[in-house]
Amino acid sequence: MAKLTQDELLAQFEEMTLIELSEFVKAFEEKFDVTAAAAAPVVVAGGAAGGAAAEAEPEKDEFDVILAGAGDKKIQVIKVVRELTSLGLKEAKDLVDGAPKPVLEKVNKEAADKAKEALEGAGASVEVK
């Protein structure tokens, strides 16, 4: 197999959904026995500058994306929920109908922000906790 360049790898990741990317990261961590912890350098830098305030409240690295309401474009919201999750049509519809419900749980900040942006773009109201 030919070795891929960094740009080629990034192009491949760019085509993946958030769920696929999350599953890839988990598989990568298991295969190479590593942890993708990007928050650690931030906490260290914040601890040096912030002192006791940074120690009292550690950096949150897991977020839940909660669908608060579907809005007027329910079908669009269902499509986005299906893109973000591995749910089928019926399960995604049930999740949207039963709002408020979590769409993604324990995801990183970037994934939560992208999911929130996609859902709000479809007309849903979203909370990130």
| Structural domain includes residue 49 | no
Note whether 122 and 65 are same-domain residues.
yes
Specify burial of residue 61 (Cβ count, 10 A radius: 0-12, 13-18, 19+).
Answer: middle
Note whether 65 and 115 are same-domain residues.
yes
Global confidence as pTM = 0.52
| Predicted pLDDT at 1 | 62
Is the per-residue pLDDT at 69 higher than 80? yes
Report in angstroms the alpha-carbon separations of 59 from 8, 14, 17, 18, 106: 32, 27, 26, 22, 14
Is the per-residue pLDDT at 40 higher than 50? no
Strand partners, 69: 125
Note whether 30 and 70 are same-domain residues.
no
3-7, 27-31, 35-39, 108-112: range with lowest mean pLDDT = 35-39
